[in-house]
Amino acid sequence: MCGIAGIIDQNRPEENIHLMKEMISAIRHRGPDEFGIYNDDHACLGHARLSIIDLNTGDQPIHNEDKTLWIIYNGEVFNYPELRKELIKKGHHFATTSDTEVILHGYEEYGAEILSRLNGQFAFAIWDKSSRELFIARDRLGIRPLFYFYDQQRFIFASEIKAIFQDHRITPAINPFALSQIFTFWTTLYPDTIFKNIRELPPAHYLILKDGNIQIQRYWELSFPPADDYEDKPFSYWSENFTELLVDASLIRLRADVPVGAYLSGGLDSSVISAIIMNYTNNPMKTFSISFEEQSFDESRYQIAVSNHLGTDHRDQPISNRSVAENFPQTIWFTEKPILRTAPVPLMLLSDLVRRNNFKVVLTGEGADEFLGGYNIFKENIIRHFWHKYPNSPRRPLLLQKLYPYLSVSSPQIRRFTEQFFAYKLGEINHPAYSHLVRWRNYEQFSKFFSPDFTAQCDGYEPVDDFLEHIPERFEKWSPLSKAQYIEISLFMSGYLLSSQGDRMAMANSVEGRFPFLDHRLVEFCSKIPPKYKLRRMNEKYILKKTMRHLLPPEVSQRSKQPYRAPVAKCFYSADNSNYVEQIFKSNGSELYFQPNILNRFLEKWKRAEGNLASERDNMIFIGLLSTLLVHEMFITKRFQPVKNKIIENFKLVQH
């Protein structure tokens, strides 16, 4: 992967070069290998390169034959060799062997239609010098980020927001609507970001800027068949086609001029990807994982079992509670927004392990849970429908035990809490977001912390209503599982999983993640698979388990889904970290968002419990409050800068 940035501002061509150096320096972690700038009287484009394909001639920005088109690009297009051959037959001449130049000539040949031909993960910008037109685009599922600022005078874009803030004419401020969204959905709603006036280009969209006017267009959309209109084909049909697509999606993601490794969590998804590589290629495989000091989070025995079974060269990164707390501020610097759990921290430390082993690329299992019905939220949806239909059924406790095998549901306290949890708005089965209502109620607790001034800024804003205004018209015809999948994919996966836990944590250490389950061909196929083959009698990812079980040891292929979790509030309770937490909670900026008396009471509650907050909700509140205040200290007041990048001097400058 790489980092990209651009400035469209005809009033400051010379000043733009200096600003661009600062912008690229701020995101040099995304691409520490080479740095390049293009500049003319209207546009300045910058690039920080992580060299993976065409190590010798792939430096950017790259131009077409007559130097009228210039591209900067963050991503990988895995079908670029096939597209390159097609374009050569049409008369295009290539100066490099990179996938970047394939996109450029593809755009020259097909315009925006090239996006439908790309199989990959990308964010790129093309500047047409002749027409003074900017074209920027993002991949179908939002694997790679792209943000922008526009005030009718200048248009500034970048892979990360911190690069845009290098323009000191832009004043950072928290967007109250976006904070409400994060406290509801764990992420913002496109195009909002946590900062006012900073926007995020939505996945599967492109933007054209010409003559001061912006046009934004969707080029792909996730969809499902109507509930009563799935193809009536045997399981063997779905299994065989699924296998063929997944194997090909995995193999083309090995295309690189550097070694490719894999994450191995011990769960089904990453294990399947590693197994495919080991069984369908002759490539030796190095795998990487994390193990936890706390046994309740640790899955190392499954990681070792899979590694031994497949014969991979395995590396492990131990995670202590102390390391989670110590690295949390740096994690927020890279996420650039508040988060509600600490799970990204170990993943940042894992990418550091990868980089220390001289790897730049890893394959991972993201996407399988979303597209194949792997999360508990999909099972909870089934149970809530059952509870509504059969309010007196004696099977209720049995369903809870099956859903949460890792919890002691027989405990009266846990059972009482779980029953209250499931009873929330139980009768609203016609609500479009019925599957997620119980999870989204966390916002009710967060909003109690808001200061009167901040509440007034929210002006009665309802995040759920905002989201529901933008769901597709055909949504109501989908099955309950498909509806839940759409919500999970368009919110949690795109805005949180692939961002805060994905791109940002890997790129913090200059590591590129690749995701076979998110190949758009496989995604479109999985959307057509009947729900009964995804979630079968509370057995999640049924088709994946049944189809791939011969490749894995039984203790992994047959195990129930264990959510990836990391230590939360209690890991911050120590002699060193308690002081730092208290300083953040009592910082001058806290009263801008929260009521000091309520914030202090919650802090005292955490201290009395020695960090051991009893409920999951309290732990989420703790992390949400702490990360919000860290965002304020890092990006608003800039009093706290956990990462300081020096200005890069060795730029390759192309100036016209």
At 347-363, the pLDDT tens digits run 999 999 999 999 999 99
DSSP structural state of residue 286: E
Residue 60, SS3 per DSSP: coil
- Contact 51/67 with Cβ under 8 angstroms? no
Residues 6+ apart with CB under 8 A from 18: none
Alpha-carbon separation of residue 237 from 227, 240, 277 (angstroms): 19, 5, 23
The tens digit of pLDDT for each residue in 177-196 reads 999 999 999 999 999 999 99
Catalytic residue among 2, 44, 526, 571: 2
Q: What is the CA radius of gyration of the chain?
A: 24
What's residue 231's pLDDT? 96
Instruction: Give the start-end residues of each E strand in 57-141.
Output: 62-63, 69-77, 120-128, 133-138
As its CATH architecture, domain 2-174+195-220 has 4-Layer Sandwich (3.60)
Query: Which residues of the chain form CATH 3.40.50.620?
Result: 222-432+471-564
Q: How confident is the model at residue 640 (pLDDT cuts 50, 70, 90)?
A: confident
**Residue type for 54, please?**
D
Q: What length does the chain have?
A: 656
State residue 187's pLDDT score.
97
Q: Considering the entire predicted model, what is its pTM?
A: 0.96
CA separation for the pair 15, 27 (Å, rounded): 19
Reported as a single tens digit per residue, the pLDDT across 247-306 is 999 999 999 999 999 999 999 999 999 999 999 999 889 999 999 998 889 999 999 999
Q: How confident is the model at residue 588 (pLDDT cuts 50, 70, 90)?
A: confident
What sections of 93-196 are H helices per DSSP? Answer: 99-110, 161-164, 176-185
Active site residue 2: yes
Tell me how crowded residue 280 is: count the other CB atoms within 10 A of its CB.
14
Contacts of 285 (CB under 8 A, 6+ apart): 261, 262, 274, 277, 278, 310, 312, 313
pLDDT at 527: 98
Measured CA angle at 138 (ends 132, 144), to 5 deg: 125
Q: Give tens-digit pLDDT for 453-507.
A: 999 999 999 999 999 999 999 999 999 999 999 999 999 999 999 999 999 999 9
Listed in order, the ranges of the chain carrying CATH 3.60.20.10 are 2-174+195-220
**Two tokens at 598?**
């309520």
- pLDDT for position 408: 56
Is residue 557 very low, low, confident or very high in pLDDT (cuts 50, 70, 90)? confident
Residue 424's pLDDT is what? 85
**How many CB atoms are located within 10 Å of the residue 365 CB?**
23
What is the second-level CATH architecture of the domain 222-432+471-564? 3-Layer(aba) Sandwich (3.40)
Residue 399 has pLDDT above 90, yes or no: no
Spatial separation of the C-alpha atoms in residues 643 and 320, rounded to whole Å: 22
- Give the separation between CA 166 and CA 150, rounded to whole angstroms: 15
Name the burial class of residue 196, with classes exposed (0-12), middle (13-18) and buried (19+) by CB atoms within 10 angstroms of its CB.
middle
Instruction: Determine the straight-line distance between the first and last CA of the chain, rounded to whole angstroms.
Output: 27
Pairwise CA distance, residues 582 & 604, whole Å = 10
- Picking from 485, 487, 491, the residue whose alpha carbon sits closest to that of residue 526 is 485
Q: Are 96 and 104 in contact (CB under 8 A)?
A: no
